[in-house]
Each structure stands twice: as structure tokens, then as C-alpha cells.
Amino acid sequence: MIIKKLPEHLRPREKLLIKGPKSLTNEELLAIFLRIGIKDKNAIELAHDLISSFGGLRGLYNSDVASLFKFKGLGKAKVSELLAVIELNKRYLEKSLIGRDVIEDSKMVFDYLYLTMRDLDCEVFKTIFLNGQNQILNIEEIFKGTITQSQVYPREIIKSALRNSATAIVCVHNHPSGNPKPSDSDIEITGKIIQACSLMGISFHDHVIIGDNQYFSFKEGEMI
């Protein structure tokens, strides 16, 4: 059925304005974004098929341009808009951490960054820069490598720490394999970063490795 022919309280846009966004299903929220459907499918049905074809919102949020173009009903404009909205959401999640107290709690670090790092197909190394009150000053992607390795240089981390006027740091990176167990190279580079921080009077609080719904903390593992 065409959405315009639905009772007003069942139309996604009207329902959102009356009851608020939390009252809508994932399909209804996406339908508002899609605006129109295709032949024999309204926007809600199209949204349902889109979410299902990618295995849920998680799959959709980690889709790429090529896979989105394969879905019938999405053209250049819609693919561009969808990717832009997804990227804005990821950036908001990360930037919303600024000013938050996360020091000495690796689980909080994991919770904050898991959504933006869990499904990456290559290793990404990020550093959280903290001030003297243990608040986040900034989060920067320092290195991006292949699926098996990332070239991490302690001097670049120190340069960024000084630029952000940080007194402490927490390092975070992902394992695309899903297994957060640290490799020999992870252990080696952590030691080098700790040494570099010590020379510059910067506290090194933890190195958290993000896997598939799990993490490893060098601090909790008593490896630092």
C-alpha cells in the first residue's frame, strides 16, 4: 500500500512528529530517509528489504559504495546521502566523547569506540589524548594499515600528544580477525610507545585492542 493511503498515525513522518523518533521501527526511520519506494513496494517495504539484505543495521552501516549500488532502488543520490549520514553518525559518536572521563576504565573505552571500529577490514590505530583531569581532549586516527599489520611510529603519537597538550594517552586499535589477543608486534610497539611517553613525561594508561564483541586491555592483563 502507498504510504499516503495509510492512516496518518501509521505514516512514518507523521508518527515521528506526533510520538517522537523512538516510537518508529528501524524500517520506518529508514523509510523517512528514502522518501519514496519503487514499483510494487512503498518506502517502508523498501527499507525492510534494504536492512534485511545487509543482515541488519550493523551490516548496512558497514556497507560500501559497490554493495549499495547493487541494491535495486538506490541511485547515486541515495547512496551518497546514506553514506554521508552513516559517516556523520560515526563521527558524532566519537566526538561526543570529548570531555568525558574514561581514564582507568578500558571497558568504557571499548564501549565508546566499538561501534566505529568493530567492522573495519584493516587495522586502525587510534590514540585518546587526556588532560590532567582525565578528560578526553581529542581522539585521533594515527595509523591505518593492512588487515594484518599497521606501521605504528611512537614519535608520531608523541607529536600528536604534544600538539593536543595531553598529559596522558590511551592507545586503541582493532583486530579485523575478531580475536583481540595481542600479537608479538602489538606487545613490541606498546613497549616502545611506553618508553617514548616516559621520556616526554606523558602518562601511558592503557592499550586496548578491539575484537568482535570483546577486547583486550594491556592494563587489565597486567602487561604494563
| Residue-wise pLDDT tens digits, 171-193 | 999 998 889 999 999 999 999 99
Indicate whether 133 belongs to any domain.
Answer: yes
Regarding whether 57 and 123 lie in a shared domain, the answer is no
pLDDT at 18: 86
Residue 130 vs residue 40, higher pLDDT: 130
Indicate whether 222 belongs to any domain.
Answer: no
End-to-end CA distance of the chain: 61
Regarding whether 122 and 80 lie in a shared domain, the answer is no
In this structure, what DSSP letter does residue 152 have?
-
Structural domain ending residue among the three candidates 94, 119, 136: 94
Cell numbers given for 13: 513522518
- Residue 65: give the domain boundaries: 3-94
Structural domain ending residue among the three candidates 41, 64, 94: 94
Regarding whether 111 and 78 lie in a shared domain, the answer is no
What value does the mean pLDDT of the chain take? 84
* Amino acid letter, residue 112: Y
pLDDT at 36 exceeding the cut of 90? no
CA distances from residue 207 to 40, 109, 121, 126, 216 in whole angstroms, order as listed: 52, 10, 20, 10, 8
Regarding whether 104 and 90 lie in a shared domain, the answer is no
pLDDT at 89: 79
* Amino acid letter, residue 190: T
The total of structural domains in the chain comes to: 2
Regarding whether 78 and 104 lie in a shared domain, the answer is no
User: β-strands 136-144, 203-210: how paired?
Assistant: unpaired
Structural domain ending residue among the three candidates 71, 94, 117: 94
Regarding whether 113 and 52 lie in a shared domain, the answer is no
